[in-house]
Amino acid sequence: MVDQIPLYRVRSVAAAAANRKRAAYYSAAGPGSGADWHSRYQLEDESAHLDEMPLMMSEEGFENEESDYHTLPRARITQRKRGLEWFVCDGWKFLCTSCCDWLINICQRKKELKARTVWLGCPEKCEEKHPKNSIKNQKYNVFTFIPGVLYEQFKFFLNLYFLIISCSQFVPALKIGYLYTYWAPLGFVLAVTMMREAIDEFRRFQRDKEVNSQLYSKLTVRGKVQVKSSDIQVGDLIIVEKNQRIPSDMVFLRTSEKAGSCFIRTDQLDGETDWKLKVAVSCTQRLPALGDLFSISAYVYAQKPQLDIHSFEGTFTRVGLLDLELNRLTKALFLALVALSVVMVTLQGFVGPWYRNLFRFLLLFSYIIPISLRVNLDMGKAVYGWMMMKDENIPGTVVRTSTIPEELGRLVYLLTDKTGTLTQNEMVFKRLHLGTVSYGADTMDEIQSHIRDSYSQMHSQAGGNSAGSTPPRKAQSSAPKVRKSVSSRIHEAVKAIVLCHNVTPVYESRAGVSGETEFAEADQDFSDENRTYQASSPDEVALVQWTESVGLTLVSRDLTSMQLKTPGGQVLSFCILQLFPFTSESKRMGIIVRDESTAEITFYMKGADVAMSTIVQYNDWLEEECGNMAREGLRTLVVAKKSLTEEQYQDFESRYTQAKLSMHDRTLKVAAVIESLEREMELLCLTGVEDQLQADVRPTLEMLRNAGIKVWMLTGDKLETATCVAQSSRLVPRTQDTHIFRRVTSRGEAHLELNAFRRKHDCALVISGESLEVCLKYYEHEFMELACQCPAVVCCRCSPTQKACIVTLLQQHTGRRTCAIGDGGNDVSMIQAADCGIGIEGKEGRQASLAADFSVTQFRHIGRLLMVHGRNSYKRSAALGQFVMHRGLIISTMQAVFSSVFYFASVPLYQGFLMVGYATIYTMFPVFSLVLDQDVKPEMAMLYPELYKDLTKGRSLSFKTFLIWVLISIYQGGILMYGALVLFESEFVHVVAISFTALVLTELLMVALTIRTWHWLMVVAEFLSLGCYVSSLAFLNEYFGIGRVSFGAFLDFTFITTVTFLWKVSAITVVSCLPLYVLKYLRRKLSPPSYCKLTS
């Protein structure tokens, strides 16, 4: 980034000079020449014929006839509808969407991005106003809270319908009851919703405030001051201490290290927690003191912001699939409501003002669509969230979005990050193989003994020889064909490992040092407890830490030298002559060092086996042992060396310098010079390093796989590392074939590679982000169809934008529910794009945790969160929602029967408080107690994850189950009303009390029928509701009349206490419920569900 952003010193020059600088800057960063532009489009024209070429599905290729191969399904553009048909089907929606988009574009025009001039330490000189450096996860503010919540509620058909019904009661001709009959339930629903949203919003505000209040040191003319991260402005000079998060996009100007180097970690950008070496801007690093940054009057001229890994996009609100399904069922109920009302008016013969009677029937049957559905579901979701956070088996779990807990029970795709999510990113050295002997964790003490003996012999030889150790070294190098002892081979292998790397030991500053922080290098005490290692790869840190454990310690390193400490305390110095860093293309790194005590020059190299196998001398064990270590989940590195004479090195250096100064094909010439050294190198050893997995990752992934959940790993790490972790974590089982999608850059290459991939069957896919971009550009539909058939997919080198894109494509192409899990800031876009986001609070900070719907502390908690809580939440919400609908349907059926008896008159059967009480105190507690129901115990759900697979089909809540509940409601409503009319014909005046009592008893018995596992609170709820109803008979007698005019006494206490009343009410209730109990018993015996087989 420093190389791309120039730093200008302000001098007394003309404006034209500044303009020339800017023009030169844009010419360097702009597009290529006209020839390049023409050639690029020429290539695209040449690949245009691929549109007509099918992706082959068979081995025969294009040699067969057209009928012998098939093409993958392609996305086709459907024929547009015309005229009135188009407007009725989709046109009105398209026009409304277009108008809304036009208004939004007018009100919120996107700001044009421009290049920026940022003055050092002078925010007031900024030419444009920049937004605050604050994190905001809130959905609303003070002004948008009420309108936003109301919109989110009334966009659902259910609530909008009841708002219209409630408003209709202000019209005298349409009023059929008291206002509170409709407005009280609606107000209660809105109050509960606003309270829940306010609590969630306040929690988000507190989390944002905690993050934005982190203090940083700001450098001013008057010295250092403490500022909050949210108060940092563009142009401020910020001092970032060791192990402190970088609060914003910054340019690296100066560091306390003299060479201007600093190790940073980019885990919030690409997910990699490796330490990367960065160098400060040279002109500011050379300044004598920090205060001189203000005296140079410099500014940074940066290009305009680009769409890169620094940019995130996401959504704010989420709606669960169950809410959408219930919304569709609500619309179906509305159609039934309208149809029933039309039938009633038709049977009336359209007498009088039939349209007014139609609307009154709509009001009478409005309980078909229960307003209590939303409040019951919302309160149930709050209970589910509370259960998750209180589960002792998954401590630290936080539910940040209380609206979608049931989404955890219907997941089909789980997209996970690698670093910090599946792995701890802590490498441990596990194996050293020398060809004839292998050392593991239990035999490392032998290596330590060999190293100690080897250096003790060298020290004794050096003490007895005034010429130092040069003669024995020359003797050793002059006779390379002599078979070396095991001790000598171990010594050379360990020495090569401790020298061939880019690791830097870092020491904490001494206490009491004032001014700028300086590392304790002057004393060269090299105390072990004060030393830490930093490198661009955790693998290298693990290797150097292992050499320290066996006795050979790296104690110091700079750009030109490094020092080692032997087991006896002797310090060995080496001069770094050349360093060839690791690249993804070469898959190896090398170093040329000179031993200052012997003047011996050695070229060391290490790398992947695929790259090193052709470089080292012939052997018969490397390929086999690499395969063995890979099957153990170890990351392997091959280590080799080559001794060079002074003349050989001088010749190489001159050719290498000449190649680096070449103006044409510099990269190829430099690579050719380096490759001239990489011939017939001596193979020293093979190392195996294990990336420590999170606890119980393997059983958790196996559980998810058995539950029918496909796991995709999206990581910014290298392909080799991602593949190794996928195999070691058992994301890809040992018996599973793996297809590594080769690197493609053009449409033709993608076409051929997709053909090759299509021939593979039942294999895991490993693909890089670059190849993925090409495939999605030209063959999106084909690639997604093939990838979705794979049991596991690994995408490496993915940017945050690509991660979110993959989630969106899965949603669009499969229509299944997706879940994203990660722990770093680079996972935020993926988490927010998924239907359900889970964040892990780990070493990479809390950005993912704060932006996610659910937060856990370990990956293994995902199993219980999904198998137990997700499954229970979905099944409970489905049962609760359908039962609430049943409660409204049964009373509407009774109203329809009653109106039919009264010559289709629009007279309400139950008035006032009876209607409100029916949906609240009389039945609310037993119905809501269904949130405590469970079909199997949590231990059983964890033991048999196959139970989860049934939920993804949506059978717990479907039109089939809904139709069953509709038929049950019609049957019970008809039995209750007709039974009351038939058995109490002589006491018709008491029909309200009779039917309502039987209705309440029926609902209580239906709750008992629905419950699968009893909880003591369920029993309490049943008897509490029954007690509330019996006690209310004393003061609600006025409501037990018929219509607005009573036919006599409303409630006769003497009559309801007679045996006749009791047995007739009991008979009606038994007839309405007993057949259902019998059917449930027969079903459990003849065709039991899967959970019944386990519980039995």
Catalytic residues: 417
* Strands laid side by side in the 792-796 sheet: 398-399, 854-856, 836-840, 817-822, 411-416, 710-714, 792-796, 763-768, 737-740
3-state secondary structure (DSSP) of residue 557 = strand
| Terminal alpha carbon distance of the chain | 65
What distance in Å separates the CA atoms of residue 428 and residue 593, rounded to the nearest whole number? Answer: 26
CA distance 747 to 48: 9
Residues for the chain: how many in total? 1096
Rounded Cα–Cα distance for residues 929 and 1016 (Å): 10
Q: Which residue has the tokens 């119980």?
A: 696
CA atoms within 13 A on the CB side of 1061: 18
**Dihedral pair phi/psi, residue 399, rounded to 5°:** -100, 110
Question: Which tokens is 928 given?
Answer: 């809501």
Q: Which amino acid is at 895?
A: Q
Quick one: tokens of 1038?
């006025």
Could you say which DSSP state residue 935 is in? S
- Amino acid at residue number 4: Q
What whole-number distance in Å separates Cα of residue 865 and Cα of residue 442?
Answer: 38
Is residue 369 within 8 Å of residue 161, measured between CB atoms?
yes
Q: Which residues of 633-671 are buried (b: 16+ CB within 10 A; e: fewer)?
A: bbbbbbbbbbebeeeebeebeebbeebeeeeeeeeebbb
- Degrees (nearest 5) of the Cα angle 73, 75, 76? 110
Sign of CA dihedral 147, 148, 149, 152: positive
Residue tagged 């303009």 (tokens) = 19
| Amino acid sitting at position 866 | L
Per-residue HEC secondary structure of 372-431 comes to: HHHHHHHHHHHHHHHHHHHCCCCCCCEECCCCCHHHHHCEEEEEECCECCCEEEEEEEEE
Q: Could you give the C-alpha distances from 601 to 82, 451, 574, in angstroms and in order?
A: 81, 21, 10
- Classify burial at 75, counting beta carbons within 10 Å of its beta carbon; exposed 0-12, middle 13-18, buried 19 or more: exposed
